[in-house]
Amino acid sequence: MLGIIIGVATLVLLIGAGTGMQSYMKEQTETMMGDISIYNSSGGAFMGSSGDAYLNNETVSKIKTMSQLYDIKEETQFTTEINRTPIYVLGINNWDQVKFNGTTGVVVDQSLVDKFGYKIGSKITIKDKDFTVTGITKETTGMGMGLVFLDVEKAIPLNDNKVTSISASARGDPETAKKDVESQVPGTMAMTQSDFTKQIDDMMNGIMLFIGAIASIGLLVGVISIVNIMLVNVTERTREIGVLKAIGFTNQEVLGSILMEAGLLGFMGSLMGLLMAAILLQLGIMLFGPQLGMEDVSLAYMLPAWLVLVVVGGATLLSVLAGLYPAWRASRLNVVEALRYD
């Protein structure tokens, strides 16, 4: 059982973590953006891209007048410096996408707090304009840069009125609205929620395939251990099997009892492995969730019903298959030779 337990725990731990991240990313994408997002056709301005990668004022005006779109929201992002420290500024209108302590308006990350001693109520100067810090976040750029979130109305003037992206809701089919934007507004690229979801799936599916292949090796080792232990069991209980057959057990009944034992080993081992993986995943959420900005992730993301059923059912079935040869061998034992076995 130990081989099955370790194999199942490894499989569930790796696939569960990947599945959880995939589900969380897709849910966040669906809740944080509108039906359609619009960028410059070069791909948008990210992390200090050149100025021509932004949406210019004329383009923004055209998008705002399109009858197919409503609830139009702008965002901008750019890089600058505070006392020779590079910072990444995001002008946003949906504060639900940021986890922070304090209130909306001007939110700085922990690295800037540690370096400059900022706290809520402190003054911060961005591009020669003074602001008051209203909140602190643990989110980071992951690139050694400071991070500042601003209300988009404050951020756009600091970026020479350049807009990085526009999100909007669509009247009717988002795919139709996407085609209308790209055909009617030159130099733009539009993406729907389904486009983002497909990107996430494409990215994660390859990773999950690789992870699953690696993790399956552990389960395979456990299955091999089932074959080994069942062969040992049959050998050690040769005399017992002979007695059973002598008192009337048929070959099919002997075969069934050995297969049942193998299946129970797999089933119980998979449940224990599942429990071990669930404990480790919960610990991972508690320890690393806040650091990754994923403290809202629950165990349900990482242990969907299909994964539990596939793992438990698969481990049980593989164990039964692993017990086929030992069971067949036991059912074919000669009664007289089995009784005389020492």
- How far is it, in rounded angstroms, from Cα 294 to Cα 288? 8
Q: What is the DSSP letter of 169?
A: E
Of 251, 247, 248, 266, nearest to 329 by C-alpha is 251
pTM, rounded to two decimals = 0.61
| Residue 237 backbone class (left: φ over 0; alpha: ψ -120 to 50; beta: rest) | alpha
Instruction: Report the amino acid identity of residue 31.
Output: T
Residue ranges covered by each domain of the chain: 2-27+198-340, 42-186
pLDDT tens digits along 62-101: 888 888 888 888 888 888 988 888 999 999 888 877 888 8
Q: Which residues of 194-213 are buried (b: 16+ CB within 10 A; e: fewer)?
A: ebbbeebeeebeeebeebee
pLDDT tens digits along 17-34: 888 777 777 776 666 567
Instruction: Report the amino acid identity of residue 44.
Output: G
Q: How many residues does the chain have?
A: 342
Instruction: Report the amino acid identity of residue 169.
Output: S
pLDDT of residue 328: 86
User: Cβ of 136: how many Cβ atoms within 10 Å?
Assistant: 18
By three-state DSSP, how is residue 37 classified? strand
pLDDT tens digits along 276-305: 999 998 888 888 766 665 666 777 878 888
pLDDT tens digits along 308-340: 998 899 888 888 888 888 888 888 877 777 677
pLDDT of residue 235: 77
Burial class (CB in 10 A: 0-12, 13-18, 19+), 280: middle
Look at strands 36-40 and 165-170 and give their pairing: antiparallel
